Amino acid sequence: MEALGGYPTKSSNQKAKKLTVLLSMTVGVGCLFLLQTQLVRQRKHNDFYSFEVQDAKGRTVSLEKYRGKASLVVNVASHSEQTEANYMFLQELHRELGPSLFNVLAFPCGQYGDTEQGTSRDIEAFARSTYGVTFPFFSRIKILGSQSDPAFKFLTDSVQKIPKWNFWKFLVSPEGKVLRFWRTDEPMESVRQEATALVRELILKKRVEL
């Protein structure tokens, strides 16, 4: 209600001040919450093992279970010209070095031509029945574009390279840091040497701790 002459009353001024203070406090609290959420998110995802992903059956899996081990993370495909050679090599490496200190972690991706189709369960079942692989499989992901999987994006951001085809390989340390990556056409023997050397370091470290 206004006084004669159009001037606001003292009561109106007090209400306006209270409303302004309330709005300012609300905005301030909101900003602090967003800032805190961002900081927590940054702390939470400072290494590969801090992420959660979906397995081939659609269940949420924490990569934390692989912390303390070396990992070779690979974007796999079922119908690529490199599929057979890579699956045979990856399974051999997984059998030789893992799984107590080393794991191959397979992430199917269908963004490279028609090399990966079907559901995540179908992809996993095909690899296991056709090539006898035993290493962990996860849900099919996207690597290219704005919908790229956060865990895999951590790998590509770490090396500042995005896979141009299937079967790029990322060697991840026991602490979750990316040590090296290999393109599809690079020698697999180099992958074996680097992964083996990292596992040997882990073995020596554990012996010293004992």
User: 12 is in which domain, residue-wise?
Assistant: 1-44
Q: Which tens digit of pLDDT belongs to each residue from 23-77?
A: 666 555 555 555 554 443 444 679 999 999 999 999 999 999 999 999 999 999 9
Residues 56 and 150 in one domain: yes
Residue type, 43: R
Q: Which tens digit of pLDDT belongs to each residue from 110-135?
A: 999 999 999 999 999 999 999 999 99
CA 38 to each of CA 41, 43, 89, 184, 203: distance values in angstroms, whole numbers, following the listed order: 5, 9, 40, 35, 37
Calculate the dihedral angle through the C-alpha atoms of 108, 113, 117, 119, rounding to the nearest 10 degrees: 50
Residues 33 and 56 in one domain: no
**Number of alpha carbons in the 13 Å side-chain half-sphere of residue 100:** 5
154-169 average pLDDT score: 98
Q: Which tens digit of pLDDT belongs to each residue from 185-197?
A: 999 999 999 999 9
Total structural domains in the chain?
2
CATH assignment at residue 99 = 3.40.30.10
Residues 68 and 170 in one domain: yes
Residues 87 and 40 in one domain: no
Residues 104 and 192 in one domain: yes
Residues 99 and 8 in one domain: no
175-187 average pLDDT score: 98
Give the model's pLDDT for residue 14.
67
